[in-house]
Structure 1
């Protein structure tokens, strides 16, 4: 499902770029003059500059989806738009679908007070631009009643508000303060800013769809994990705790955002293969027989087969498969050792062990914090990666100092 959605999004973006470039070519052709003409050279330079900016926006916003925030992309978009307009001040506002309000996502050289400004469609210049779906240029804001914060707060320079639309759907507004007085004198700048707004809207839409897809994935993973934990009275609330530990540990190790998400998923789903294990064995209060332990060991491969069939969970499946490997090579299912074990699996192993010590089990009560810390240190170099153990203990110490409630008892 994920691959199909992303493929459709890429196709839409390619169509948007083709349309933008076609319009650019038309503008360039209409304004063509003899090569010796300074106006012709200026037009050609503007065309080249705009093309470079459009491609930069596309590359930054689409190829790095999942690693670039809306704020970062809006910051780049604003920078390029100001550069194109020869301006030093402006904002990008995004529309919140839930509240129906516009709020500032990126700003440059803006007084602090207006940064908290929120507008409904139809309110102020930006609100009117997004409601009408058309750019609004105000030569003298201090004399224009549409400027929401009043004449005393209005800037002296002209302002242009350009709506960010995708197939008529409003996503936000670009506001440019015409500090160089170039926009009013050059219609090409206005057209170029409109084209940049089209590309920005397409990228923002792509990012929002990606965010929605990631939210769907997370909710699905949480549902699966809780379904597994529902069979284990000792695993209640484990999903949220494990996810938090995994996220903080992965970030402590400076992993990329996408890898952090995979580690979160793997930690939440590490026990999914236990669905295929006899419940009587899982709940047995005493020591397992060798035959019963062999049955337990199958849960990693069962979990791998279940997750590997879901494309977006491919990296997660690998982490689940090897999370019972030991750093010294004495684990299962394949006896991997050291860095042969995926880093994600080494993280899951430590988080899972900590959670087991932090929880009541059929055969014992939860361990005191000092005992759990000592057990992790004891296992460093044997069961666990020493570097990951140290990183985890740094996270744990910070959380302990902050009074986290999901640590083993003191």
Structure 2
């Protein structure tokens, strides 16, 4: 491949191939474009012809022949698809009957609406299959007005799909012919160029190369003679002249080299000595430079060590500041989470004090609430010290730190109590104060109390940064405490209002007066025995107080009716749990209470009302309330019966345990009664031990007693 002849021949071949291939490709493209244009015109003419045929058939009233015309056209193989569709794209008629009623593709409908009549469309992803799509509108003519509305401008459109496959055969033959002719042309050009190069270039160059090889071997008595062209003749003359000059210079150079060799042998020794001396001097200078650089590096290292020490001290200080800042932000974050996680004021106090004591590493922390009416301070939360019993409220006095903070409305930092003799060293809560911080709890201009941390765990003193941190915590806690107080007041207002309604209902009936209070006492005692949490105790207490609120929607005459209840009466009475739930529905914080009230007349066997829930679907609080409500109903006088003895009421509970009442809860309730916790004393007896004077009354009213919570008002 390094031969000049091969390179020239290859370059010429490449140029010829590129030129011929480019011309052939452009010719093929031109032919394809011409054929495509001719096909497009043929498609238009064919579409017009088919349209005229279809319109002629339709004008002649032979619309049923349109289907056969479309089928015959498609069967010839030239047309791939032919159909008629309306302005919305729905296919009205087609060569393929399965297409009738379907919708054409969105791109075809867009082509029709844009006014395009003929378009070349590619149907496959590889771009190989192309089809001419022709769309011809069919207009409403006067001759068609007999079958179509004259106001309708367009009756439809004829769509034909003509594949371009038959053109590809001719184009492929033309392409094959072009490729063969191109290859033959290139081959002939290459043969002619090869003969030319061999005659006028290759043979003279071989003669020159042969002569040069002889000169290289030391034979200067050579010459060449080429007359094939003026260039080669000039080359041979120049080569012969060069060989003769080279022979002369060679002979002269050999003589000079001999003399120079003798002179160089004399100077070689002196030159070597001079080089050695020069190398020694260079090495000495390098050693001196190295010593100077070494001293400079030592000075730089010492200076860098000083800078590193300074940076280390600065870094330690910044790390300490950063740790303090992180601790402060962490505390503020924890306090923020605490105050936003609960609206229970007692839990809120505990969370704030615990977080503050932990972050400030204090031994003691507490919150004091201020009562401006009697100027008393009430200790709500005290962590880290067990205060003396009975010291939950302390008076304000000048020597009290909290008094000073409340009156001055600003925080106070005492690093050493010995430096402040105006304040008591020993707190009224019974501990010794050495260092402390006290910050006011304020909302706008209203002061609600103070938060205080006392004595560091490591016996250090509080500083200004910790004062600022506690002040920030106090600001966050103040808003949360105020919101919790307002929330409690709002809840109390709701409950007092609703309880007043319950009291109004009970006041109208001497038999049910005090019923809610007794049911509340029974329910809460049973819930405590079960070990329910404080939140669930509050739910059951409120549910017991309000469980008959729905009776406000029941007719008083029905509530006081002494005679036998009709099915309509019973149905109305069964609605009072539902009415109670509707009354409490707008009050968000009573949703569990509302659910408990709605279930307190359900039975564990699913036979209760209003929703016939089973034990698994009832709240535990609802099952507790059902027992307390039934027990008070049976042991209280009613217009329609006298109160049952406690023993009889207990036996009723036991007899209906597992069907109407939760058996475990009944057992716990009976144990409470037996212990005297509910204010009753009774001895457990069988049914035969019921007093004689009560036996008949009990037998007559047993069904009534057990149906009090299903058909009678309680």
1:279, distance to aligned residue in structure 2 (A): 2.7
Match of 1:305 in 2: 582
Q: TM-score, normalised by structure 2?
A: 0.47
Measured against aligned partners, the alpha-carbon deviations of 1:213-267 in whole angstroms (never above 9, x if no partner) come to 2222221221121122123221111222222223333343344434433333332
Tell whether 2:92 aligns with 1:92.
Answer: no
1:59 aligned residue = 337
Distance 1:299 1:206 in 2: 35
Q: CA deviation at 1:190?
A: 1.7
Given candidates 632, 652, 659, the residue that maps to 1:375 is: 652
1:118 is aligned to: 394
Aligned counterpart, 1:137? 413
Q: 1:228 to 1:74 in 2, by over 3 A?
A: same
Residue of structure 2 equivalent to 1:164 = 441
Q: Which of 500, 518, 526 in structure 2 is aligned with 1:223?
A: 500
SS in 2 for 1:240: helix
**TM-aligned CA deviation for residue 43 of structure 1:** 1.8
Please give the per-residue CA displacement for 1:139-166, whole angstroms capped at 9, x wherever unaligned: 4434634224779x99462333222222
**How big is the shift at 1:113?**
5.4
Q: Residue 40 of structure 1 corresponds to which residue in structure 2? A: 318
Counterpart Cα distance in 2 of 1:90 and 1:219: 35
Displacement of 1:315: 3.2
Contact 1:125 1:146 in 2 (8 A): no
Moved more, 106-115 or 276-285: 106-115
Residue 385 of structure 1: how far off its partner (Å) = 1.6
Q: Deviation at 1:181?
A: 6.3
Is 1:204 matched with 2:481? yes
Q: 356-365 or 98-107, which moves further after superposition?
A: 98-107
Match of 2:452 in 1: 175
Counterparts in 2 of 1:111 and 1:246: CA distance versus 1, 3 Å: closer
In structure 2, distance between residues paired with 1:156 and 1:276: 61
Q: Kindly tell me: are residues 310 and 336 of structure 1, through their superposed partners in 2, closer, same or farther at Cα, counting changes over 3 Å?
A: same
In structure 2, the CA distance between the partners of 1:171 and 1:122, relative to structure 1 (3 Å rule), is farther
Q: CA deviation at 1:310?
A: 4.1
Deviates more, 1:94-103 or 1:343-352: 94-103
CA contact under 8 A between 1:164 and 1:174: conserved in structure 2?
A: yes
For 1:330, the equivalent position in structure 2 comes to 607
Q: Which moved more, 1:124-133 or 1:274-283?
A: 274-283
Name the counterpart of 1:128: 404
Q: How does 1:12-23 map to 2 (within 5 A)?
A: none
Which one has the largest radius of gyration? 2
Q: Secondary structure at the match of 1:177?
A: strand
Conservation of the 8 A alpha-carbon contact between 1:91 and 1:108: yes
Partner of residue 347 from structure 1, selected from 624, 632, 636 = 624
- Give the aligned partner of residue 379 of structure 2: 104
Aligned partners of 2:519, 2:471: CA distance in 1, in Å? 47
Q: How does 1:255-404 map to 2 (within 5 A)?
A: 255-398=532-675, 400-401=676-677, 403=679
Q: In structure 2, what is the equivalent of residue 146 of structure 1? A: 422
Structure 1 pair 136/60, CA: closer, same or farther in 2 (3 Å)? Answer: closer
Render the CA deviation track for 1:93-133: whole Å, top value 9, x for unaligned: 22235533123333345474598271327552221011111
Is the counterpart of residue 232 in structure 1 residue 502 in structure 2? no
Checking the alignment, whether the CA contact within 8 Å between 2:673 and 2:679 is kept in structure 1 is no
CA contact (8 A) 2:417 2:425 kept: no
**Mind listing any 5+ residue stretches in structure 1 that lack a counterpart?**
1-32
The aligned counterpart of 1:187 is 464
Superimposed CA distance per residue, residues 304-338 of structure 1 (whole angstroms, 9 cap, x where no aligned partner): 33333444443333333332222112222232222
**Structure 1 residues 156 and 338: CA distance shift in structure 2, 3 A:** closer
Kept in 2: contact 1:93–1:104 (CA 8 A) = yes
- More deviation, 284-293/195-204: 284-293
Secondary structure in structure 2 of the residue aligned to 1:37: helix
* Alpha carbons of structure 1 residues 88 and 341: separation in structure 2 relative to 1, 3 Å: closer
Q: CA deviation at 1:176?
A: 2.9
Q: Is 107-116 or 389-398 further displaced after alignment?
A: 107-116
Shift in alpha-carbon separation, 1:298–1:121, aligned structure 2, 3 A: same
- Are the aligned partners of 1:85 and 1:178 in contact in 2 as well (CA < 8 Å)? no
Using the alignment, how far apart are the partners of 1:378 and 1:114 within structure 2? 48
CA distance in 2, matches of 1:277, 1:206: 38
Aligned length: 368
Report the more deviating stretch, 123-132 or 53-62. 53-62
**1:48 Cα offset (Å):** 1.7
Residues 394 and 54 from structure 1, CA distance in 2 versus in 1: closer, same or farther, beyond 3 angstroms?
A: farther
Residue by residue, what CA displacement relative to the aligned partner does 1:61-102 show, whole Å, maximum 9, x if unpaired?
Answer: 431323xx52x5444433433333333244432223553312
Tell me the secondary structure at the aligned position of residue 236 of structure 1: coil
Distance 1:389 1:300, change over 3 A: same
Instruction: Describe the SS at the equivalent of 2:579.
Output: helix
- Return the alpha-carbon distance in structure 1 between the equivalents of residues 614 and 388 of structure 2: 57
3-state SS of paired residue (2:584):
helix
Q: Distance in 1 between matches of 2:637 and 2:389?
A: 53
CA distance in 2, matches of 1:316, 1:110: 37
